[in-house]
Amino acid sequence: MKILVLNAGSSSQKSCLYELGDELPDQPLQPIWEAKVDWTHHQGVAEIEVKTQHGATLKGESPGDRSTVIAHMLNLLWSGDTQVIEQPSDIDVVGHRVVHGGQDYRESVRVTAEVKAAIARLAIFAPVHNPANLEGINAIEKALGSVPQIAVFDTAFHSDLPLATQVYPIPYKWFERGIQRYGFHGISHRYCADRAAQLLHRDLSDLRLITCHLGNGCSLAAIRDGHSVDTTMGFTPLEGLMMGARSGSVDPGILIYLLRQEGFNADTLDQMLNQESGLKGVSGVSADMRQIRAAIEQNKPRAKLAFDVYIHRLRAQIGSMLPSLSRLDALVFTAGVGENSPEVRASTCEAFEFLGLKLDDSKNSHNPKDQDIATLDSTIRVLVIKTQEDWAIAQECWRMLNHSVN
């Protein structure tokens, strides 16, 4: 079975083609073809980078809208130096990461006209992501016709959060109108929970985990017996941890003050909170943790302050997850910062030494991947896991197609 995965963002897209047999493997497979598309550097022009399992590579540019660029990208699957299939009909199914499934979609679904309408409707909750996800679905329809498409929702993993976690302390009528904690990064959190159980040789149904997805966007999930019971992102991906350019949670009174006293409106607040805050806003340097660390080495005090605020809020919110779990078996770090910053991992874990957590400094500093970096006598395991959302989406597609056939 050949499964194409589209993981679309507002200004970028990653696509992978996997080939699976009759049995779903325990270990993640490498894609036989993958492409990255980036619209950030030139207006109306996409940069495309493609590579295959056998080492063929291609870099180029493609003008046009998302539909046109995707059509060009797909053509590289069955033609030219990066060809890995004979024809479009060789693709059995296409899976899409869709950020917001709202209250309606608690698991992956086959894309229909009704599902597309729901993704469009829910764009009001995820205006940066859902429209891009829908454009990808429409582009595949245009390029590949009636090939089955599966929507895999980032919110689905958190759909069974306890009501006490879902409901905000505002008038209940707003909960009835859909304003609640949804949670995001669910595909990543679920994958890391499953992978943690594999690495620890434990049954997921008996594990208590906190997974830390730390990238440009950041969120935590408290996972008990295989289910998300708490998470830091909420009604939108803006709540929770300090992020690259997003503020995370702030006193809502600040926002009222800015509206009343400083001439802000909804658009300027949105711009500030989503694009000018977080590491970028405090440091004045960058939203990228690597550049923050470099600036700290150059003795730039605001970069050090940004790092300290980031760690303080990360520790505090990890601590807030603990009561939902009663015990903690493993702390999991994943995504760009979580996988690649030993300083973030060490500074975070230091706060939990009182629980018996002991980090192995040597393992932590040597680029660990899918590895336990705690000492042998640590009461809590510390895992670094490479998140593989694309593989997780491919697995969902395989299960759904095999279930429908069987």
Q: In this model, does residue 9 exceed pLDDT 80?
A: no
pLDDT for residue 69: 84
pLDDT for residue 384: 98
pTM (2 d.p.) = 0.91
pLDDT for residue 157: 94
The count of residues in the chain is: 406
- pLDDT tens for 250-281 read 999 999 999 999 999 999 999 999 999 999 99
Q: What is the Cα–Cα distance from 249 to 233, expressed in whole angstroms?
A: 9
Token pair recorded at residue 345: 């991992």
Q: What is the Cα–Cα distance from 221 to 159, expressed in whole angstroms?
A: 12
Q: What is the Cα–Cα distance from 345 to 214, expressed in whole angstroms?
A: 10
SS3 of residue 72 by DSSP: helix
Rounded mean pLDDT of the chain?
92
pLDDT for residue 319: 97
* Lowest-confidence segment of 122-136, 274-288, 300-314, 334-348 by average pLDDT: 122-136
Q: What is the Cα–Cα distance from 317 to 42, expressed in whole angstroms?
A: 38
Cα→Cα distances 214→13, 87, 164, 242, 348, Å: 19, 38, 25, 10, 12
Asked whether the beta carbons of 62 and 13 are under 8 A apart, the reply is no
pLDDT for residue 61: 82
Pairing of strands 208-214, 149-153: unpaired
Residue 154 annotated to the active site: yes
Domains and CATH numbers, the chain: 2-153 (3.30.420.40), 202-384 (3.30.420.40)
- pLDDT tens for 376-400 read 999 999 999 999 999 999 999 999 8
- pLDDT tens for 51-81 read 998 888 988 888 877 778 888 888 889 988 8
pLDDT for residue 10: 62
- Per-residue confidence band for 290, with pLDDT thresholds at 50, 70 and 90: very high
User: What percentage of the chain carries pLDDT values higher than 70?
Assistant: 98
In sequence order, the β-bridge partners of residue 208 are 224
For the chain, state the CA radius of gyration.
Answer: 21
Catalytic-role residue among 65, 154, 203, 361: 154
- pLDDT tens for 32-52 read 999 988 877 766 788 889 999
SS3 of residue 357 by DSSP: coil
First to last CA, the chain: 15
Asked whether the beta carbons of 73 and 35 are under 8 A apart, the reply is yes
Q: What is the Cα–Cα distance from 347 to 370, expressed in whole angstroms?
A: 20
Q: What is the Cα–Cα distance from 166 to 183, expressed in whole angstroms?
A: 9
SS3 of residue 134 by DSSP: helix
Query: How much is the average pLDDT of 275-299?
Result: 95
pLDDT for residue 406: 45
